[in-house]
A and B are shown apart, each in its own frame.
Chain A
Amino acid sequence: MNSDKILKYVLFAASLLILLISGAMVLSLVQGSMPSFHQFGWKFLVSDKWDPTTGREQYGALLFVAGTLFTSILALLIAIPMAFSTSLFVAEYFRNTWMASVVSTLVDLLAGIPSIIYGLWGFYVLRTFIVDIGLSAQGYGIFTSGLILAIMIIPYATSLSNTTIMMVPNELKEAAYSLGATRLEVIWNVIIPNARSGITASYILAFGRALGETLAVTMLIGNSNKMPTGLFSTGNSMASVIANQFGEASGLQLSSLIEIGLLLFVITTVINAVGKYIIKKFA
């Protein structure tokens, strides 16, 4: 019994690490944001100004929040059908065949591509393609960055889904088949309800990845500090403005950038909570 108690304590102690890291993170972010908060107060959240000119500095987060949300949501919308199909392909339809192995390895490779390469590939290849087919004049914008993000998060959306889909007990599936269900019906009525928790967990992970992605978005979003008005307008995202200006910022600008980092933290928390609440409602 002693070993049991030890294990329980060890597990609990381990969980404290999460609190420690996130707490310290929030603390540092809050500390860094103080100067900006004192200067701008809550207006910071709804102001669309971003003027770093010395003497009349004015900062606001609205543009970047919009850019982040638009690109991440678009990315998730594009990625879900792709990821879901790939998961079903690997974990159900062609499970245990060589094809599934190949597909899953290829998809996992996507996770290993450094984001700067996604940015470069997007810059040299995707952007040129979008210009060529006439969707946009210079190829930058919400759509291009959303598309790149979608490709980047697919492996996150598939990997956990694959595992959980594969672990749905065979008896449940066989029972359904014996009742005359088609493949689709088994997927819809047996596999998905059982694997639901893992599948949604993977989409939440994927969305989180999209929210925080920096380099790839930076290179394709156009970096204009304007409110995006359409699918192909340029804009800016929270992570990318931080990455772009952090190395050279100081004083009030640095503090505003840190405040945006804090804001991103908060937004991610809220979206995660809302997502989970919606899922619980539909359980």
Chain B
Amino acid sequence: MKKNSLFLALVLVLSAIGTSAKAQLSGAGATFPLPFYNMAFEQYTKTTGEKVTYGGVGSGAGIKSLTDKVVDFGASDAFLSDKELKAMPGDVVHIPTCSGAVVVAFNLPGIETIRLTPEVLVDILMGKIKNWNDASLKKINQSVNFPNLAITVVYRSDGSGTTNMFTDYLTKVSKVWADKLGTGKTVNWLTGIGAKGNPGVAGTISQTKGAIGYVGSEYSFAQKIPTAYLMNKAGKFIKPSLATVSAAGKGAIPADTRVMLTNSSAAIAYPISGFTWLLIYKEQNYNNRTLAQATATLKLMDWMLDKQAQSIAGTVNYAPLPEAVVTKAKAILRTVTYNGKTILK
């Protein structure tokens, strides 16, 4: 009938448009670096003309997209474990692009900043410390006049790399936490309310007196939210900033860059920091991929490690990679092959 033939004609026309267009790169994954990636990729398109699309669908969905081979690269805040690597249809390499951190935000009228030790933080999150005027808080904050106000914990309701980084830190510093809750993109919070996304948590905290919760650093830096100074492994109370976040990456990093930077031993390191990675297959000839597509993908990755992209990171509150990490990452890129032959020199 008329409508169906119109439909058929349309599909033919559209597919004709489809085959004549230039190839594009597409990636999917973590929402944490989304603002940075969008900006960097926009710059890349301006410089090279190559179009890049990135979707912040979540690290898990990003990895799934890569597994299903429907994107050129995936993006994740949590590196793949050995078990997960084995489950992938091919060898996957991790390319770090920048660092971020998780900050502890709070809402106490009239109080600019507070200090927290790992023990006190864990006790608050597990509901053992219920009120701001608790003695253990006063002990580490002699100059702060805490009100008699109930503590409301706010956590991320959606699975997130931010939660993963935060709980990884808590597991490292508290045996009680490790036993009861552990690490994960979602955990079984004992008390408090869940809000969706960084804006949800930040919004809830700012609207609820006495609230305390965790947000991604890029978010808190941009919105200038009151955050706590955390005691790091070296015993110092550290304020989260680009410098202290970058410092966490200056320690020993394995060759494949798969490491969590939480609870770093560096002197001025902020204790809840971590890399975010782009993931690609080591052997790029899969699914009828052309050499041109593979080269384009690697060129993008290489560019992300260069000075221009890294300085973009800094301007939008993402901590750039330390030199040593950039060197390691570039080395990894040069092991990626097409039909067994390396692509980049």
Name A's B-contacting residues (CB within 8 A): 10, 50-55, 119, 123-124, 127-128, 131, 138, 140, 218-219, 222-225, 234, 240, 243-250, 253-254
Contact = CB atoms under 8 A, between A and B. Distances in A.
A240 B160 CA distance: 15
Nearest to A124: B203
A238 to B, nearest CB: 14
A220 to B, nearest CB: 10
Contacts of B158: 218, 243-245, 247-248
B103 interface: no
Interface in B171-227: 181-189, 192-196, 200, 203-204, 207-208
A124 B204 CA distance: 9
Interface centre among A53, A131, A140, A253 (most CB of B within 10 A): A53
A217 to B, nearest CB: 10
Given A54-B184, A248-B58, A248-B158, 11 more contacts: A52-B184, A123-B203, A218-B157, A219-B200, A223-B196, A244-B159, A246-B60, A247-B61, A247-B158, A248-B186, A249-B60
A219 B196 contact: yes
A250 B204 CA distance: 28
Contacts of A218: 157-158, 196
A223 B189 CA distance: 10
Contact of A52 (B61, B157, B187, B207): B187
Interface of B: 1, 57-61, 63-64, 84, 152, 157-161, 181-189, 192-196, 200, 203-204, 207-208
Nearest to A56: B182
A248 B159 contact: yes
Nearest to A138: B208
Given A218-B157, A234-B193, A54 B58 contact: no
15 contacts: A52-B186, A53-B181, A53-B182, A123-B203, A218-B157, A218-B158, A218-B196, A219-B195, A223-B194, A223-B195, A224-B189, A244-B196, A245-B158, A248-B58, A249-B159
B203 A225 contact: no
Contacts of A219: 195-196, 200
Given A138-B204, A140-B193, A245 B159 contact: yes
B207 A247 contact: no
A224 B182 contact: no
A138 B188 contact: no
Contact of B182 (A54, A138, A253): A54
